[in-house]
């Protein structure tokens, strides 16, 4: 799922291309994409883009007369840009491609396509009018890059959750998901299963600094990767990540094999040496299957493999 760094770079690319440009029309191919009926999306036709902003992991495009188009890409939604080529205006008003394009946004400057891979269509589009209705789409998590340490600590420890859940809860932290939470926790050398209520002041500071550094560093990397073009390689699994998507590969800090916890459509990746003191975190399905045979340390895991 595109997270804060990815969405930020998307917005920067869109700002260069559609700010102050009129939207000619929108073509929707999936009836499940649009989640609002009032105002109808057709009211955006002919209106000029005045601003863009991020709301958590959502992209919000502001039009004249305080209309907002809000996109949530979810796991597999992606954006693609195609420059217009006047005078062949009709050619650029292409129709959505079946089973690939969810929507086509025809701007004065070019075509923005929304696609979603796979059969589970989870991406969403909301059209709202007015600041109050826009706020209703904001889960309310704090912007870590704007928050001070005290605000971060207060939100983090308001309720007792695991660190993984606290970082990825949009009501607590804005824009952080599965991938970058793994990277943040590795940078902070903290276990994803640690309860927030048990954190020391030093650990909270470490987590705060790791969160800011990780998000800023990856935003810079993705911006450099795009090189002024439109970002087309948006993925949760990137070369250069320390642990996310690197199960079984060596930790870049200590060389220990990265481990994982799998659940539903997600997984948590971590280094047992750097983050959990050599302990293996219980994978819900495997630990239930293996019961007493579940290895609790790296040494037990290696012994099991030898058997």
Nearest-angstrom CA–CA distance, 215 and 4:
7
Ranges for all domains in the chain classified under CATH 1.10.8.50: 149-306
Ranges for all domains in the chain classified under CATH 3.20.190.10: 4-135
CATH 3.60.20.30 fits 149-306, yes or no: no
Six-digit token pair at 281? 């975190």
pLDDT score for 288 = 44
Nearest-angstrom CA–CA distance, 303 and 289:
18
pLDDT score for 168 = 96
Residue 136: pLDDT over 50: yes
Judge contact between 63 and 47, C-beta under 8 A: yes
> Is residue 269 classed as helix, strand or coil in its secondary structure?
strand
Q: Are strands 49-55 and 266-270 parallel, antiparallel or unpaired?
A: unpaired
Nearest-angstrom CA–CA distance, 295 and 259:
12
Confidence of residue 101 (pLDDT cuts 50, 70, 90): confident
Question: CATH number of 4-135: 3.40.50.300, 3.20.190.10, 3.40.630.30, 3.20.20.70?
Answer: 3.20.190.10
Nearest-angstrom CA–CA distance, 171 and 39:
26
Nearest-angstrom CA–CA distance, 93 and 110:
9
Provide CB contacts within 8 A for 5, sequence distance 6+.
180, 215, 218, 219, 221, 222
Judge contact between 282 and 193, C-beta under 8 A: no
pTM: 0.89
Confidence of residue 86 (pLDDT cuts 50, 70, 90): low
3-state helix vs strand vs coil in the chain, percent to 5: 35, 25, 40
Nearest-angstrom CA–CA distance, 267 and 264:
8
Distance of CA 14 to CAs 9, 22, 63, 255, 274, Å?
Answer: 9, 13, 14, 40, 39
pLDDT score for 237 = 87
pLDDT tens profile 161-214: 999 999 999 999 999 999 999 999 999 999 999 999 999 999 999 999 999 999
pLDDT tens profile 106-131: 999 999 999 998 777 899 999 999 99
103: left (phi over 0), alpha (psi -120 to 50) or beta: beta
Largest CA distance in the chain: 71
Scan for tokens 């491609």, then name that residue: 97
Nearest-angstrom CA–CA distance, 78 and 232:
8
pLDDT tens profile 248-273: 999 999 999 999 998 767 889 999 99
């Amino acid at each position: 799922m595109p997270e804060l760094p990815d969405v930020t770079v998307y917005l920067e690319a869109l700002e260069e291309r559609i700010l102050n440009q009129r939207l000619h029309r929108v073509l929707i191919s999936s009836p499940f994409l649009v989640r609002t009926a009032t105002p109808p999306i057709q009211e955006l036709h002919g209106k000029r883009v005045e601003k863009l902003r991020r709301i958590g992991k959502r992209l919000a495009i502001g039009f004249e007369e305080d209309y907002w188009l809000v996109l949530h890409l979810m796991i597999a939604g992606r954006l693609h840009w195609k420059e217009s080529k006047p005078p062949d205006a009709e050619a650029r008003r292409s129709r959505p491609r079946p089973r690939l394009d969810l929507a086509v946004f025809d701007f004065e400057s070019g075509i923005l396509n929304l696609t979603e891979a796979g059969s589970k269509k989870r991406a969403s589009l909301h059209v709202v009018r007015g600041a109050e209705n826009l706020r209703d789409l904001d889960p309310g998590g704090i912007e870590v890059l704007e928050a001070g340490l005290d605000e971060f600590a207060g939100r983090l420890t308001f309720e007792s959750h695991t660190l993984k859940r606290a970082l990825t809860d949009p009501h607590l932290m804005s824009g952080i998901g599965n991938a970058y939470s793994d990277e943040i926790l590795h940078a902070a050398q903290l276990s994803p299963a640690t309860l927030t209520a048990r954190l020391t002041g030093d650990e909270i500071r470490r987590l705060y600094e790791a969160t800011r550094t990780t998000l800023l560093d990856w935003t810079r990397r993705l911006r450099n990767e795009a090189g002024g073009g439109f970002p087309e390689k948006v993925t949760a699994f990137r070369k250069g990540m320390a642990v996310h998507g690197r199960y079984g590969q060596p930790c870049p800090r200590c060389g220990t094999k990265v481990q994982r916890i799998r659940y539903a459509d997600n997984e948590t990746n971590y280094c047992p040496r750097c983050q959990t003191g050599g302990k293996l975190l219980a994978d819900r399905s495997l630990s239930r299957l293996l019961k007493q045979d579940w290895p609790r340390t790296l040494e037990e895991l290696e012994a099991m493999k030898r058997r």
